[in-house]
Amino acid sequence: MIGVAATLFWLQPQRTATKQEPSAGCAEPANAVRPILAYCELANNAEKYNGQTVRVSVRLSWFTHGLVLFDPNCSGANTQAAVFYDPFNTEEIERALRQAHGSGNWFDAVDIIATGRFKKVTPSGRSDTIYDTASLQFEIIKIEQASKVD
């Protein structure tokens, strides 16, 4: 029993040190500031950013078929992304959007700078919602800045 306790005690500092070091596959530390990408860069290079957490400047809009990210100046097919909220930050995200809208209509577009997880997917086509028809998805983790579009 003393041997087991001594081994656990001896290994504890090594496990702590290992946790603090970045993994070999990690390109940047978790607390690194990501550059702000233009949404067209993200949408038109979906394969490059697929599965990554990115920081983006983009327009967020609501319509009858869901919540969507887009850039009105972005050309190219299928550049809209279906939007989801990180379930752990939903209240914070909705608070930032309420502040941006003020007393305005929730269907009014909002320009945002947000950090989120970007994915390229094969649309399911199960319905006509953006969530089933868009080939791009963006899960908002945090909104840094939001302002209503004039």
pLDDT confidence tier of residue 106, bands split at 50, 70 and 90: confident
CATH number of 33-148: 2.40.50
pTM: 0.76
Asked whether residue 31 carries a pLDDT value surpassing 60, the answer given is no
What DSSP line would sit under 8-59, residue for residue?
Answer: HHHHHHHHHHHHHSPPTT-SS-TTPPPPEEEHHHHHHTHHHHTT-EEEEEEE
Q: What is the pLDDT of residue 56?
A: 97
What is the mean pLDDT of the segment spanning 16-32? 41
Percent of the chain with pLDDT over 90: 61
133: left (phi over 0), alpha (psi -120 to 50) or beta: alpha
Asked whether residue 13 carries a pLDDT value surpassing 50, the answer given is no
* pLDDT tens-digit map of 46-100: 999 999 999 999 999 987 788 999 998 887 668 899 999 999 999 999 999 999 9
121 CB-near residues (< 8 Å, 6+ apart): 134, 135, 136, 137
Question: How far is CA 113 from its chain centroid?
Answer: 10
Q: Are 100 and 135 in contact (CB under 8 A)?
A: no
What is the mean pLDDT of the segment spanning 36-55? 95
